[in-house]
Structure 1
Amino acid sequence: MAKLTPMMEQYIKIKAEYKDAFLFYRLGDFYEMFYDDAINASRELEITLTKRAGGKGDPIPMCGVPYHSAENYIRTLIEKGYKVAICEQVEDPKTAKGVVKREVVQLITPGTVMETNMLKEGENNYIASLSHFNDGSYVIVYNDLSTGENHIALISHGWDAVIHELYNQPIKEIVISSNLPDDMQLQLQDRLNITLSYQDEVTFNAEYRSLTENLNDERLMKAFSRLLNYIQHTQKRALDHLQKAKVIKLKQYLSLDMYSKRNLELTETIIKKGKHGSLLWVLDKTATAMGSRMLKKWLERPLLNENQIEERLEIVDGFYRGFMERDSLRDILKSVYDLERLAGRIAFGNVNARDLIQLKRSLQTIPELKNTLYQFNRKEINSLADDLISPDHIVNLLDGSLVDDPPISIKEGSIIKDGYNEQLDTYRYATKNGKKWIAELEKKEKQETNIKSLKIGYNRVFGYYIEVTKANLHLLPEGRYERKQTLTNAERYITPELKEKEELILEAEEKSIDLEYRLFIEIREKIKNHIPELQHLADVVSKIDVLQGFATVSEANNYKRPQFVESKLNIKNGRHPVIEQVMKDGSFVPNDISLDESKNILLITGPNMSGKSTYMRQLALTAIMGQIGCFVPCDDADLIIFDQIFTRIGAADDLVSGQSTFMVEMLEANHAIANATDRSLILLDEIGRGTSTYDGMALAQAIVEHIHNNIHAKTLFSTHYHELTTLEDSLSNLKNIHVRAEEHEGNVVFLHQIKDGAADQSYGIHVAKLAKLPDPLIERATAILQQLEAEDKPKPITEKMDSGQLSFFVDENKKVKKEKQPANSDKVINDLKEMNLFEMTPMEAMNELYRLQKEMKQ
């Protein structure tokens, strides 16, 4: 191998420690990349790939980005799921012996970004760790480095539960052991689209003992240590803003599996993958970024505890009724910046003076916020006001130290107020008076030389100088001026007196800037000691913001406060919260929903496009809204607190895992059947449509019966198998309902009204007509339908096995009797011989074959 230059040897040594990251290697005013990093970065960042000599041998691929604009390039790589190691010079090049010493000062990963322009305001940016233990349990630890949050969940019921839990959180990166089985790693990386990182060391750092005071399980400690060690390794700095780890007791929250969250579009839509059109989009009337993030967390974990739900509803009710006070409250909240992330940046050390001014202005609103909350005549709202503790000491510190409009940079001065520091005032006085002396010197020199164009200027290379145009050089007295620089049309001079003043001024300016920087760091460190206060304040403000948002959206959309009951769910004129907002014209048709112990399964029939799926989804969304503490879209609601919601709605292939629509449908149905309880809600839409008619109807009926006989969950089951409506006669807890439609002059009119009983027909051909299929095709389909309807239809099987399930299969012990030859077989054979298949369409041939088969069976 050809010998490399010392610099490239240094690069390769550092790169070996960060093989899975782009190494941004600092060279002067650029971050440079080499070898594969250069080739890949040039492609991902669309920058020019060049080459440089690395010693004796072939040129080395190279590309680079300017230091001052590196943040934008780093953001692009992070958004694509890559990691970036920042390698800086850690000694002065002027004093370095040989190659300047360099070290990685930070590893930026998708889950550890702190820069504001890389974070979405209303979303958490979670990094998680996953640990597997010998008893079969898993522990997931969540951390949002930008806010300092730490949460831990213990999962004891298998890998599928882990996948569902991880899917439901906005995780950008997951830290695992290198021993985790390969198939599990592939699912995490490909199916969930999470960046993988590895950390095998789980020794606990005693420095962070206070974060684990409530962790009394060794598994939780090891799992938390895995993530903590990784964050320390990548960030290489103090993590003073990390909050105490909170254990998530999953059984205290309504469980939503990955299918339900996707199908119900709680936080993003399936197709566009955006917030618009989701339930979050409708409900988010928060005024702060903190509130928006908390709302999203509440949506992902609805409550099961009725007392906690009622406490939220009581506050929402108070805000709802106090319109004027709520309006004032919203105005105040709009002035509050992101306290959570400001606290994180203070601890992280990347906060600037403008950030601290934002902090000051936010904290100055707290007394007014408290007073406004006290105006509501509700003890629960007044308790929120009591919990708002204004950190006046921080306000006083910032108000007395920082100017109101500081520059972005903290290393160029002009950020500290006059009067805050005596030494700084002295330096500023010297600088100010020195510049005044120079102005007076310029005036004096003009008078003495009679050169009106004479001026005293300054630049960083030559310092202060007296400039005289060449046309006036003859007016200068001899021996008084020392030539400094010659220009095309002028000469620049210096005098001993000016040189002396220059030294005083520049020394005062330099020392002033250095002192301002040190003072700013001191101010930041003082505030860092109060980060827990700021985080508590942020939590209370976020809660206030979410609940006032619930009141705001409830008033705007005419939502009603729900009541919670034990068994009989009853919703009067319920509406779909998202669709009614999308329609905007008030044309959404509301419907009642009623489920109790005697009728806990609703079998829904009706035309496609008539609103069956909408009806089902609106029940689930209404239940979730109620269990997060929001009013619900209806005229009146008695709701049940569901422990789980399962949905099988919509058709979608899972291309990543190679599963067809029908397989996905069966997996989702099986997940519901395997995990639901009698306190769960199950929504199953058009089960069995992905296979043949007989297979599909058999599966659909068996699933309905299994839920009815074994699970007893509240269930909405929509189907296009109208034959299943006869199950109402054999299943006592099942009730038929249908979506009303009428036929008018050959066209179907969807009324979107839910009525008792079964639908009389499916109107499928009418829907095809609405889709503008060709008229000859529609006419042919109508003729075929009439022919098929005149013949026998498949019927549900009512024979029961001993287990109470359907007997779909022939008993192997029973002998099958040989059937006699049909009497009309000769006629069928003659008809078959006379057919001219080459003149028949495939559909005509199929119809004739069906007719002949039917005759043979007679």
Structure 2
Amino acid sequence: MTKGQALTPMMEQYRQIKSQYPDSILFFRLGDFYEMFYEDAEVVSRELDLVLTSRGGKEAAPMCGVPYHAADSYLARLIAKGYKVAICEQMEDPRQAKGLVRREVTRVVTPGTIIDEKALPARGNNYLAAIVGEGGNLGLAWADASTGEFQFTLCPGLEELLDELVRLMPAEYLLPPELATDASFCRRLQLYTRGVITSWAPAADPADARQALSDHFGKDKVDQVELPPAAGLAAAMVLSFLQATQHSSLAHLDAPAPAASTSRMVLDQATRRNLELVACGREQKREGSLLWVLDKTVTAMGARTLRRWLDQPLVDVKAIKARQEAVAELVDGFILRQELREALQAVRDLERLAGRVAYGTAGGRDLQSLRGSLAVVPEVMELLVGVRARFLLKIREQMDPLADLVDLLGRAIVDDPPVGIHEGGIIRPGYNAEVDHLRQAAEHGREWIASLEAEERERTGIKSLKVGYNRVFGYYIEVTRPNLPQVPADYERKQTLANAERFVTSRLQELERQVLGAEERLVQLEYELFQALREEVLKVLPRIQRTARALGVLDALLSLATVAVDHNYTCPQVDTGMVIQIEQGRHPVVELVGAHGSFVPNDTYLDQEQRVHIITGPNMAGKSTYIRQVALIVLMAQIGSFVPACRARIGVVDRIFTRVGAADDLFAGQSTFMVEMQEVANILRHATRRSLVILDEVGRGTSTTDGLSIARAVTEYLHDVTGARTLFATHYHELVTLAGQLAGVKNYCVAVREEGEEITFLRTIVPGSTDKSYGIHVARLAGLPPAVLKRAQELLEQQPGGEVRAAVKTVKSITLTSIEKQVLHELASFALMAATPLEAMEQIFRWQRQLHQQGTEIAKISRG
């Protein structure tokens, strides 16, 4: 704003309110628009591609605006770009205001506090997170302002904190000033999550933080949980920020609860990324992820529940079996499953509808959606009457049909309410006698005014006379200039136009008072009645939230059952043993995206006696797919899902670790090899004998000798120290010698069929090892020019060991003699299993003697 500029009272009001929210764009309500001025107008004009105009004289203020009824879409775009928006509303009717209309900011919308449906991920959460360092620990608290979820945890270090944040993917961080200005900390924070950082002062000490939480939620609720000082400070930060920005009761917000870390599997950021649990590829698309396969939910609550299960698999066998039992009953009950899914399709997002009621932003359509969703609950409860699974029975017990509220909203609100709540038309006829009377008076009044036009035409003889209305002058009689001589004496001039004059009469003014008075009172009364309905909903908000969450759990179970039936999954045996046994296991994603029926299943057996598998084989043969599929099957089993296998037994895993592929972190100044070594270090620090480790190459980012040495040392450490069940896919064929040196190491390889220079990947994992990478074969498949392939073969044969390969190649090209053919024929037909050991040795001796006597070419080459 220009200093010294004279401001109108309205612009002075704008300036004063804007000064209270300097870091937010101010949506300033003027009639039917939200207007922005000065710097805000310039920013919004640029970001939303709106026309920039001006207001005032010489020192005109830049301005732009958006219609209030369509503001949500504009708001969503600004929030998505990281801006904060303060919503400034008119707090009184401009027609009744004396002087300047009173305006106040009713809420501040930030990336972590948005509640508008169009700006929220429908099938995911939108978290606001706070981080506080205290006593050597990092306290983390997070809340979803739209659903009311509120939790906290304590992280011993930065890596553990980052693992949690990658799971939560907060939209906004609240940091104390000292952390908010720490460039290194903020860079690490935003490396994978990209949340907006907001500086926010915490409470003075843990005692003040606990008191603030007790004041809002009640001392009894806060005392029920163990609240470490750092976590308490973080939780109080979240609460104070929501109170400062939302200007509402926050009645839907849960009391902060500890995240159930001890009963859940911890997945670090590398594992989440490498297993592509909820997103895949550089673009982080949902398609192709495990969530994409498993999510057949029909409600938003169900989708969010299923994602939380994937983010935190269970480690408690009893809890896993409870989910399995419920999924199994839904798998077996075709009719029950179909009827439940059909019923749930009518359920809207009850959690977020409850949130909008708490914030005071719910409109008539929201309450109608709430009523329609709750009306489904009795049907769902009836369908669950005969179920046997205890988990399903528990879900039914948590549901509340709220029949009185459903009946109230059904009687009070019309079937198709208007978007706004200040224009009337919300209340159903018959609900309130005064509304019915005023509505009838307003309708009759309009009829009387319409009939007045015909009467005045008849009385004056002016056929073009018409009765009109505008918001400035109200009702009027308009007469064109040529007919002015015929205007009666009782007409009072109201307005002059270029080609006509506008008049009023005492009768018209009386009718206007009746009509407008009835309409104004009707609108006001409907608004008051609607507010009372929202208060009734507010009283039962906890019951609505409990029902919503129960429906979400049911929907998630139905999704797992539907996928199990559609893709022929089986129920795994989950126990506390150390065996991981999978028969005919399949990769849940790859089998769907490949050609139908083309996926080759594989078996897996891991226990403490054979806890490390060294898997060799060429590139593209399927090693990576195989080791990932084992990890995914284990994870699916521990969320209570059926799995893609003919049979599976899973000794419960405390953590899954992955070291897969080549990736660098140039933003953090780290090379591919450094990232690889950091991931390996994390595994070796935290893996236990109950963990599952999958390694897809270790040490390939440095020299061969260094890399091989590191790979061997890592394998020995996993075998000797951690005891973790491990699948290690590698091109270091030298590692296969460990199988003869370490009792728990076994060799496996991918079967390959060779026909001359052509190879076929059989995609089958078999016992044994391979001594070749088939790199040149794969290069041929990739389409490298023949000259390059030929030269590569020449160079390969010049490497140490190349003479042997050349000799073998020569052997393959030799024409066999009749003696050699006879020996091969006898070998192929020899009944080994029917022979005694002595008979087998004698037969081998005879074959050797025949070949030596013949003096074969093979013997010559071997001597040379």
TM-score range, shorter chain: 0.7 to 0.9
Contact 2:321–2:574 (Cα < 8 Å) also in 1 = no
Task: Name the CA distance, whole Å, in 1 between partners of 2:49 and 2:503.
Answer: 50
Task: Name the CA distance, whole Å, in 2 between partners of 1:775 and 1:268.
Answer: 39
Task: Name the CA distance, whole Å, in 2 between partners of 1:407 and 1:11.
Answer: 30
Q: 2:750 maps to what in 1?
A: 739
| Distance change in 2, residues 1:623/1:199 (3 Å) | same
Kindly indicate whether residue 32 of structure 2 is the aligned counterpart of residue 32 of structure 1.
no
Q: 1:173 maps to what in 2?
A: 172
Q: Secondary structure at the match of 2:232?
A: helix
- Of 563, 583, 605, 1:553 maps to 563
Task: Name the CA distance, whole Å, in 1 between partners of 2:494 and 2:60.
Answer: 46
Instruction: State the 1:34 CA deviation.
Output: 3.2
Instruction: State the 1:608 CA deviation.
Output: 0.4
Instruction: State the 1:103 CA deviation.
Output: 5.0
Task: Name the CA distance, whole Å, in 2 between partners of 1:717 and 1:282.
Answer: 26
TM-score (norm 2): 0.85
Contact 2:365–2:416 (Cα < 8 Å) also in 1 = yes
Instruction: State the 1:708 CA deviation.
Output: 0.6
| Distance change in 2, residues 1:222/1:470 (3 Å) | closer
RMSD over aligned Cα, in angstroms? 2.9
Q: Secondary structure at the match of 1:374?
A: coil
| Distance change in 2, residues 1:164/1:381 (3 Å) | closer
Contact 1:21–1:83 (Cα < 8 Å) also in 2 = yes
Count, aligned residues:
786
Q: 1:114 maps to what in 2?
A: 115
Task: Name the CA distance, whole Å, in 2 between partners of 1:76 and 1:287.
Answer: 27
Residues 97-136 of structure 1 mapped to structure 2, 5 A cutoff: 104-134=105-135, 136=136
Instruction: State the 1:93 CA deviation.
Output: 8.4
Instruction: State the 1:249 CA deviation.
Output: 2.9
Instruction: State the 1:54 CA deviation.
Output: 11
Residues 380-395 of structure 1 mapped to structure 2, 5 A cutoff: 380-395=391-406
Q: 2:826 maps to what in 1?
A: none
Instruction: State the 1:198 CA deviation.
Output: 2.2
Q: Which moved more, 1:725-734 or 1:367-376?
A: 367-376
Instruction: State the 1:726 CA deviation.
Output: 1.0
Q: 1:143 maps to what in 2?
A: 143
Q: 2:201 maps to what in 1?
A: 200
Q: Which moved more, 1:115-124 or 1:74-83?
A: 74-83
Q: 2:832 maps to what in 1?
A: none
Instruction: State the 1:639 CA deviation.
Output: 0.7
Question: Could you give the per-residue CA deviations for residues 58-100 of structure 1, whole angstroms, max 9, x where no partner exists?
Answer: x799453335354433322311223223345668889999998
Contact 1:340–1:538 (Cα < 8 Å) also in 2 = yes
Question: Could you give the per-residue CA deviations for residues 297-345 of structure 1, whole angstroms, max 9, x where no partner exists?
Answer: 1110111111111010100000000111211111100000000000000
Task: Name the CA distance, whole Å, in 2 between partners of 1:616 and 1:81.
Answer: 39
- Of 374, 378, 383, 1:367 maps to 378
Task: Name the CA distance, whole Å, in 1 between partners of 2:519 and 2:100.
Answer: 33
Task: Name the CA distance, whole Å, in 2 between partners of 1:610 and 1:138.
Answer: 44
Residues 229-244 of structure 1 mapped to structure 2, 5 A cutoff: 229-244=240-255
Residues 330-341 of structure 1 mapped to structure 2, 5 A cutoff: 330-341=341-352
Instruction: State the 1:441 CA deviation.
Output: 4.3
Instruction: State the 1:670 CA deviation.
Output: 0.6
Q: Secondary structure at the match of 1:779?
A: helix
Q: 1:154 maps to what in 2?
A: 154
| Counterpart amino acid of residue 150 in structure 1 | F
Task: Name the CA distance, whole Å, in 1 between partners of 2:375 and 2:744.
Answer: 60
Q: Which moved more, 1:509-518 or 1:215-224?
A: 215-224
Kindly indicate whether residue 698 of structure 2 is the aligned counterpart of residue 687 of structure 1.
yes
Contact 1:374–1:381 (Cα < 8 Å) also in 2 = no
| Counterpart amino acid of residue 174 in structure 1 | Y
Contact 1:322–1:376 (Cα < 8 Å) also in 2 = no
Residues 693-772 of structure 1 mapped to structure 2, 5 A cutoff: 693-772=704-783
Task: Name the CA distance, whole Å, in 1 between partners of 2:573 and 2:60.
Answer: 71
Q: 2:545 maps to what in 1?
A: 535
- Of 250, 262, 269, 1:251 maps to 262
Kindly indicate whether residue 615 of structure 2 is the aligned counterpart of residue 611 of structure 1.
no
Instruction: State the 1:21 CA deviation.
Output: 3.5
Task: Name the CA distance, whole Å, in 2 between partners of 1:389 and 1:757.
Answer: 59
| Distance change in 2, residues 1:680/1:190 (3 Å) | closer
Residues 657-672 of structure 1 mapped to structure 2, 5 A cutoff: 657-672=668-683
Contact 1:214–1:245 (Cα < 8 Å) also in 2 = no
Contact 1:360–1:399 (Cα < 8 Å) also in 2 = yes
Task: Name the CA distance, whole Å, in 1 between partners of 2:49 and 2:28.
Answer: 19
Task: Name the CA distance, whole Å, in 1 between partners of 2:63 and 2:606.
Answer: 65
Q: Secondary structure at the match of 1:256?
A: coil
Task: Name the CA distance, whole Å, in 1 between partners of 2:718 and 2:60.
Answer: 66
Q: 2:799 maps to what in 1?
A: 788
Contact 2:464–2:480 (Cα < 8 Å) also in 1 = yes
Task: Name the CA distance, whole Å, in 2 between partners of 1:619 and 1:784.
Answer: 38
| Counterpart amino acid of residue 774 in structure 1 | P
Task: Name the CA distance, whole Å, in 1 between partners of 2:225 and 2:397.
Answer: 29
Task: Name the CA distance, whole Å, in 2 between partners of 1:5 and 1:667.
Answer: 62
Q: 1:797 maps to what in 2?
A: none
| Distance change in 2, residues 1:467/1:4 (3 Å) | closer
Contact 1:150–1:244 (Cα < 8 Å) also in 2 = yes
Kindly indicate whether residue 497 of structure 2 is the aligned counterpart of residue 496 of structure 1.
no
Instruction: State the 1:462 CA deviation.
Output: 4.0
Q: Which moved more, 1:75-84 or 1:138-147?
A: 75-84
Q: Which moved more, 1:96-105 or 1:366-375?
A: 96-105
Q: Secondary structure at the match of 1:171?
A: coil
| Distance change in 2, residues 1:767/1:440 (3 Å) | same
Contact 1:132–1:139 (Cα < 8 Å) also in 2 = yes
Instruction: State the 1:379 CA deviation.
Output: 4.6
Task: Name the CA distance, whole Å, in 1 between partners of 2:619 and 2:202.
Answer: 56
Task: Name the CA distance, whole Å, in 1 between partners of 2:477 and 2:52.
Answer: 48
Task: Name the CA distance, whole Å, in 1 between partners of 2:249 and 2:358.
Answer: 7
| Counterpart amino acid of residue 36 in structure 2 | E
Task: Name the CA distance, whole Å, in 2 between partners of 1:88 and 1:407.
Answer: 19
Task: Name the CA distance, whole Å, in 2 between partners of 1:703 and 1:429.
Answer: 84
Task: Name the CA distance, whole Å, in 2 between partners of 1:97 and 1:444.
Answer: 37
Task: Name the CA distance, whole Å, in 2 between partners of 1:145 and 1:464.
Answer: 46
| Distance change in 2, residues 1:193/1:394 (3 Å) | same
| Distance change in 2, residues 1:744/1:571 (3 Å) | same
| Distance change in 2, residues 1:434/1:105 (3 Å) | closer
Task: Name the CA distance, whole Å, in 2 between partners of 1:164 and 1:416.
Answer: 50
Task: Name the CA distance, whole Å, in 1 between partners of 2:638 and 2:465.
Answer: 79
Task: Name the CA distance, whole Å, in 2 between partners of 1:626 and 1:714.
Answer: 16
Question: Could you give the per-residue CA deviations for residues 386-424 of structure 1, whole angstroms, max 9, x where no partner exists?
Answer: 332210111011011111111111111111012222222
Task: Name the CA distance, whole Å, in 2 between partners of 1:415 and 1:437.
Answer: 25
Contact 2:202–2:234 (Cα < 8 Å) also in 1 = no
Instruction: State the 1:666 CA deviation.
Output: 0.6
| Counterpart amino acid of residue 207 in structure 1 | D
Contact 1:5–1:54 (Cα < 8 Å) also in 2 = no
| Counterpart amino acid of residue 390 in structure 1 | P
Question: Could you give the per-residue CA deviations for residues 733-752 of structure 1, whole angstroms, max 9, x where no partner exists?
Answer: 00000111122242221111
| Distance change in 2, residues 1:32/1:480 (3 Å) | closer
Q: Secondary structure at the match of 2:123?
A: coil
Instruction: State the 1:522 CA deviation.
Output: 1.0
Instruction: State the 1:151 CA deviation.
Output: 0.8
Question: Could you give the per-residue CA deviations for residues 543-576 of structure 1, whole angstroms, max 9, x where no partner exists?
Answer: 0000011000000000000001312211000000
- Of 383, 400, 405, 2:411 maps to 400
| Distance change in 2, residues 1:81/1:445 (3 Å) | closer
Q: Secondary structure at the match of 2:283?
A: coil
Q: Which moved more, 1:9-18 or 1:575-584?
A: 9-18
Task: Name the CA distance, whole Å, in 2 between partners of 1:552 and 1:30.
Answer: 47
Instruction: State the 1:177 CA deviation.
Output: 1.4
Percent of counterpart pairs with the same letter? 43
Question: Could you give the per-residue CA deviations for residues 453-492 of structure 1, whole angstroms, max 9, x where no partner exists?
Answer: 6654444344334556778778x69546555566777765
Q: Secondary structure at the match of 1:761?
A: coil
Residues 303-318 of structure 1 mapped to structure 2, 5 A cutoff: 303-318=314-329
